[in-house]
């Protein structure tokens, strides 16, 4: 069973706590928004949940999984995660599939067409606009056959059509997943019923 539990969790850099004494359980099939102004720790907490970063205090558990296997259950889309610039769109999907299983009911060609990149199937990612790159990141995350979806500012660099595409992909292909969105934009997490304000767990300048 996939269930993410944080117990007295805290993360600090130098003497500053990004968040501290966080106790929370994320349940499968539920949708959560991590909110709070810039610097409140949204991205940091998502990295902890994904297993990319470790806690400074407390612990995290992923139900039946541990840090060596949880990566198979999680996909993440974030502005700071890079695509391989030398790959084409198709090559990026093929490479991604070596690490994450993609949905079997939709072909890669259909996925590419769905996100508006059919004409760029064989185009190197280095020539993409920032919006095209973000569409591709979202597709790789949402179309992965994993039960946990983490989204950090998912509509970064997207226009109005991109926002509409994001909501369409979430509605059609992701609502059965455990979704955690880190954002200050209500349009990015309007489908999330649970909100966690990380300012409630913010302690600055405390090295205890």
Q: What proportions of the chain, in percent to the nearest 5, are helix, strand and coil? A: 35, 30, 40
Q: Reduced to 3 states, what is the DSSP secondary structure of residue 92?
A: helix
pLDDT at 130 (0 to 100)? 96
Give tens-digit pLDDT for 91-150. Answer: 999 999 999 999 999 999 999 999 999 999 999 999 999 999 999 999 999 999 999 999
Q: CATH assignment of 3-201?
A: 3.40.50.300
Q: What distance in Å separates the CA atoms of residue 206 and residue 189, rounded to the nearest whole number?
A: 31
Residue 82: CB atoms within 10 Å: 10
DSSP classification of residue 193: -
Give tens-digit pLDDT for 11-44. Answer: 999 888 999 999 999 999 999 999 999 888 999 9
pLDDT at 205 (0 to 100)? 45
Q: Reduced to 3 states, what is the DSSP secondary structure of residue 61?
A: strand
Is the four-CA dihedral 58, 78, 171, 125 of positive or negative sign?
negative
């Amino acid at each position: 069973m996939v269930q993410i539990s944080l117990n007295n969790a805290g993360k600090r850099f130098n003497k500053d706590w990004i968040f501290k004494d966080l106790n929370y359980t994320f349940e499968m099939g539920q949708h959560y928004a991590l909110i709070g102004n810039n610097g409140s720790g949204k991205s940091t907490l998502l990295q902890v949940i994904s297993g990319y970063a470790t806690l400074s205090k407390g612990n995290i558990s992923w139900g039946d999984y541990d840090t060596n296997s949880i990566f198979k259950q999680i996909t993440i889309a974030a502005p700071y995660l890079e695509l391989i610039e030398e790959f084409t769109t198709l090559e990026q999907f093929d490479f991604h599939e070596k690490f994450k299983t993609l949905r079997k009911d939709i072909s890669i060609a259909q996925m590419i067409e769905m996100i508006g990149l059919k004409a760029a199937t064989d185009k190197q990612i280095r020539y993409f606009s920032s919006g095209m790159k973000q569409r591709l990141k979202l597709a790789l995350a949402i179309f992965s056959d994993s039960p946990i979806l983490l989204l950090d500012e998912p509509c970064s660099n997207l226009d109005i059509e991109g926002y509409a595409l994001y909501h369409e992909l979430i509605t059609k292909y992701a609502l059965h997943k455990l979704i955690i969105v880190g954002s200050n934009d209500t349009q990015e997490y309007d489908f999330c019923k649970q909100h966690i304000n990380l300012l409630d767990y913010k302690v600055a300048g405390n090295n205890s």
